[in-house]
Amino acid sequence: MSIAQLLVVEDEIAIRDMLVMALEQAGFGVQCAENAQQAQMLLDDMPPDLIVLDWMLPGLSGMEWAKRLRRDERYRAIPIILVTARGEEEDKVRGLETGADDYVTKPFSPRELVARAKAVLRRVGKPIGDARIMLGGILLDMEQHRVIIDNQPLPLSPTEYRMLEFFMTHPDKVYSRSQLLDQVWGRTTYIDERTVDVHIRRLRKTLADFARENLVQTVRGFGYRFSESA
Ligand code: CA
């Protein structure tokens, strides 16, 4: 399997270095640029499989550059993960409307970005170096749709698998029941939010056999979170 090539565009050196290191450790090939002009040159040279793009760049903003790429038939198909410092819902919507495939909000952990990059690449059917994520002693294999704990495959229903995959690719963040419905069941389904609780209970029960149920945490008044920290 070939290694997926990523292009990181970020003007802050500390963040750029952190991203390059984490992505290389995860088995990706990484090139980086500090602004859109530099990124464009690298792109013309060798189009990457995925672009990790900072929204706020000096000169042409990441947002504007993403728009240009989406109008360019040579680059239209390259998935983009937008990195934004602003967490407002309106910005996220604008970012996704621009044609970004996903976004992460600063501050984020390198592990979160690696997980999102793998998920986006898998979704668009691009080669990925390693479609596995290890978190909290749980191994998620997104290529084989399997979850393994202590060398044992976990007996999960398709819904519980999708829920765990979503949690493991979006760790440490709280999601409401309606967000989980959107992400795990899809926006077109109309089911009761209590269904989420039912599946959370089932998932916890399965994880409890391996003493891992504490990874799926209830955040009172908000929803649920998957995290290694209590
Ligand atoms: Ca920036």
* Interval 163-183: pLDDT, tens: 999 999 888 889 999 889 988
Which pLDDT value is given to residue 1? 42
Q: Where are the domains of the chain?
A: 5-123, 132-226
CA of 68 to the centre of ligand 1 (A): 18
Domains 5-123 and 132-226 are alike in CATH topology: no
Ligand 1 center–CA 91 separation, angstroms: 15
**How many residues are present in the chain?**
230
CB distance 35 to 65 below 8 Å = no
Cα 12 to ligand 1 centre (Å): 6
Mean pLDDT of the chain: 88
DSSP count for the chain of H helices, then E strands: 8, 12
With cut-offs at 50, 70 and 90, classify the pLDDT of residue 192.
confident
Residue 226: is its pLDDT beyond 80? yes
CB-CB neighbours of 133 under 10 Å: 20
Just give the CATH number of 132-226.
Answer: 1.10.10.10
Query: Do 217 and 172 touch, CB atoms closer than 8 A?
Result: no
Task: Report the separation in Å between the CA atom of 29 and the middle of ligand 1, taken as the mean of its atom positions.
Answer: 22
Q: Ligand 1 centre and the CA of 37: distance in Å?
A: 14
Tell how far the Cα of 18 is from the centroid of ligand 1, in angstroms: 14
Q: What is the reported pLDDT for 130?
A: 67
Q: Report the topology of domain 5-123.
A: Rossmann fold (3.40.50)
